[in-house]
Amino acid sequence: MTSASPPGHLDEEHELDHEFLTELAFLERARKALSWMLDHARMRVATGEQIAGDRYTSETLGRYLKSYAKELAEEPDSPLYFGRLQFGTDEDAGEHLGQNYYIGRRRINEEHGEPLVIDWRAPVSSIFYRASARNPLGVAARRRFGWTTRHPVELTGFEDERLDRGEELGTTSELLTREIERPRVGPMRDIVATIQPDQDELVRTDLDRSLCVQGGPGTGKTAVGLHRAAYLLYAHRLQLKRTGVLVVGPNPAFLHYISAVLPALGEVDVQQRTLEEVIGRQSIRAQDSPEAALVKHDARMAQVLHRALTGLISTPTEPIALPDGSYRLRIPLNVLIREVETVRREDMPYGVGRERLRARIVALLQRQLEYRAEMPGHRWLEKTGRARPVVAVLDQAWPKIRPEELLTNLFSDKAMLARAADGILTDQEQQALLWRRPPRSFKSAAWSTADAVLLDEIAGLIDHPEGFGHLVVDEAQDLSAMQCRALARRSRHGSLTVLGDLAQGTTAWAAADWHEQMAHLGKPDAPVTALTTGFRVPAVVLAFANKLLPELHVTAPATRSVRADGELTVRHEQDLRAATVDRVRAALDQPGSIAVITTDARVGELTEALQQADIAVDTAEQDDEHRVTVLPATLAKGLEFDHVVVVEPDEVVRAEPRGLHRLYVVLTRAVSRLDVLHAGPLPEALAR
């Protein structure tokens, strides 16, 4: 194994070995090339108007070049490349015979030459991530570079694996270890330099394939999902620019945490939203009882709503007679009845069905005019479609309805609900849905989170929503069947990357089986892949959290932590406020972020205790300013902190029905150190 690093300062340059000097020279060349690219891009921004033909394209081009120039200008903050592939000279190297490639976050090329640095998403870069001693894929040596983390970044050394001599570091690589163990500050970072072979396979799965990734805490699911989005945008830029990529996360705090990853990879056009924002129809003013929420999130509601909506379609009761000049155009009742039946059988979205019925009625009337050798024009067809006798039939047999109106009627009218839910929901379940005090009109109805999903289902039955080319769904174990359907509607013509951990399911409807969940998400045949290497949580902390696993009643493969470092302390304390202040003070002596995680009820008290001790604290709403955050257990999902202080774990367990799962999430947020403080008893599984 070869590795190199500068032994001292530049004035001791003569001591640097030859290889390192060569690398420094290359770095200089790459920096110059980047600087040329930046100047060139700026120049093109300035002259954009002359390059492009018409005004629209010149504006678009100008905008593109501006953001490109901005991206390039921001580049000096991150290393220009992280690895080098040196191909061998035998036939396994194929077209890359004897070549050297530097791999980085983006392509860098000189004014008139070959690229100096290749984008990590280019096909050949995949070899960097996947080549192994057993299967070198033509590579003689793989080199990883180390950089300072301060600005401006400087090369600190490199680490070589001579794959042709059977050398391979895998997860023992010092640079990988350093990257994983580095103290966390600020938002999540990308992992392009150290993507692991199994992660790379998921990242590069092609656009037409949907995936489900089950992985324990800290196995890199979120990282994989975000890098896949970046990869797909590279490989299918034009298609996805048109159709869009959406990342769905559990809450705004999580989305904020991950928000910098894609922009750092040069991708600024990806929407990142919570499910509520995706649905986004209503302001939420009501809260359901647990029983009502359970029924509303159940897949059977889809059938109930479908039946309620199609139940509005009825047999026409009047024929059509439409004056047209001195004539009267007619459609007899039996023909109208037949038309409604024909459209109903076509089983299209309700709103589309109404328009189809209108078009068929107009076509029948048009034919009568044509018998009289008249050729009606576009205007006539339009006017006839809106004529009162035609609209009257539509309103009676296929009435227009808003989702809010239908749901208000359904939850206010016992008989209507009974008709729609007969044989689908029990009497008790129907009772849970009915409003005790119905609003006067659907306009004044107060909707719950679950209602918003139902309204979205109805809207989807009336007309298909616009979809995305690709959706990344994180923490997907927590989605209900109805929430899954909302996302399935938006990826009908696209693909999905679904990420989650059954052991971290905290909702009453959390998934117990991924295949079932994928069926609700509209991709029943998508393969389920497991990630089992843990990069976040140190082995000692993971072993403690994993004591809960047998009680969580889920089947998921165990996670093996690559981290031998880390500390765990469990303390019985009388005064939790004082103990929390004490632990946070001790943590402040070390670098990195700190979180105190506890029940919602204790957040205020502990924030106050820290503030009284002159420790500046962030809360879940206002973050990113200080090193210490006090976080309710309910908002910890997906986040990570260097040092975590968990206060009174048994209260976390008792605060909600799936409290044990919540505690599992909470205990697995620590990157380096976990302190557990308790005044009451520890949860039984942890005490063993």
Q: Could you list the residues that contact ligand ATP (CB under 6 A)?
A: 179-180, 191, 194-196, 199, 215, 217-223, 501, 504, 535-536, 638, 640, 668
CA 511 to chain centre: 17
Does 218 show up as a binding residue in the annotation?
yes
CA-to-CA distance for 288 and 458, rounded, in angstroms? 19
E strand residue ranges, 310-365: 320-324, 327-331
Are the beta carbons of 620 and 631 closer than 8 angstroms? yes
Does 598 show up as a binding residue in the annotation?
no
- Least Å distance between CB 256 and ligand ATP? 14
- Least Å distance between CB 384 and ligand ATP? 58
In sequence order, the 6+-apart residues with CB closer than 8 A to the CB of 395 are none
Bond preceding residue 152 cis, omega within 30 of 0: yes
Using alpha carbons only, give the angle 536, 541, 543 rounded to the nearest 5 degrees.
110
Pairing of strands 594-598, 320-324: unpaired
CA-to-CA distance for 335 and 341, rounded, in angstroms? 10
Are the beta carbons of 666 and 649 closer than 8 angstroms? yes
- Least Å distance between CB 665 and ligand ATP? 7
Tell me the longest C-alpha to C-alpha distance in the chain: 105
CA-to-CA distance for 677 and 644, rounded, in angstroms? 11
- Least Å distance between CB 564 and ligand ATP? 15
- Least Å distance between CB 140 and ligand ATP? 24
- Least Å distance between CB 120 and ligand ATP? 12
- Least Å distance between CB 190 and ligand ATP? 8
Q: Give residue number: closest CB to ligand ATP.
A: 220
Nearer to ligand ATP by Cβ, of 354 and 669: the residue is 669
Nearer to ligand ATP by Cβ, of 65 and 594: the residue is 594
Q: Which two tokens stand for residue 672?
A: 């380096």
CA-to-CA distance for 653 and 644, rounded, in angstroms? 17
Nearer to ligand ATP by Cβ, of 164 and 640: the residue is 640
The DSSP 8-state label assigned to residue 284 in this structure reads: B
The DSSP 8-state label assigned to residue 557 in this structure reads: P
- Least Å distance between CB 433 and ligand ATP? 34
DSSP characters over 47-81: HHHHHSSSHHHHHHHHHHHHHHHHHHHHGGGS-S-
CA-to-CA distance for 410 and 515, rounded, in angstroms? 32
**Burial class of 85 by CB neighbour count within 10 A (0 to 12, 13 to 18, 19+):** buried
DSSP bridge pairs for 196? none
Nearer to ligand ATP by Cβ, of 340 and 518: the residue is 518
Nearer to ligand ATP by Cβ, of 204 and 489: the residue is 204
Are the beta carbons of 600 and 633 closer than 8 angstroms? yes
Nearer to ligand ATP by Cβ, of 17 and 624: the residue is 624
Does 217 show up as a binding residue in the annotation?
yes
Does 89 show up as a binding residue in the annotation?
no
Nearer to ligand ATP by Cβ, of 472 and 526: the residue is 472
Q: Residue 356 corresponds to which amino acid? A: R
Does 216 show up as a binding residue in the annotation?
yes
CA-to-CA distance for 653 and 611, rounded, in angstroms? 27
- Least Å distance between CB 216 and ligand ATP? 7
CA-to-CA distance for 394 and 357, rounded, in angstroms? 8
Does 215 show up as a binding residue in the annotation?
yes
DSSP bridge pairs for 87? 139
- Least Å distance between CB 271 and ligand ATP? 19
Nearer to ligand ATP by Cβ, of 199 and 546: the residue is 199
In sequence order, the 6+-apart residues with CB closer than 8 A to the CB of 176 are 144, 169, 194
* Helix H or strand E segment including 87: strand 83-87
Kindly provide the b/e burial profile for residues 169-180, where b requires at least 16 CB atoms within 10 angstroms of the residue's own CB.
Answer: beeebebbbebb
Q: What is the SS3 assignment for 157?
A: strand
Q: Residue 126 corresponds to which amino acid? A: S
Q: Which two tokens stand for residue 37?
A: 């690219």
- Least Å distance between CB 490 and ligand ATP? 22
CA-to-CA distance for 587 and 305, rounded, in angstroms? 53
* Helix H or strand E segment including 119: strand 115-119
Are the beta carbons of 637 and 533 closer than 8 angstroms? no
CA-to-CA distance for 382 and 384, rounded, in angstroms? 6
Q: Which two tokens stand for residue 487?
A: 């996302």
- Least Å distance between CB 192 and ligand ATP? 9
- Least Å distance between CB 668 and ligand ATP? 6
Residue ranges at the known binding site: 215-222
Residue ranges at the known binding site for ATP: 215-222
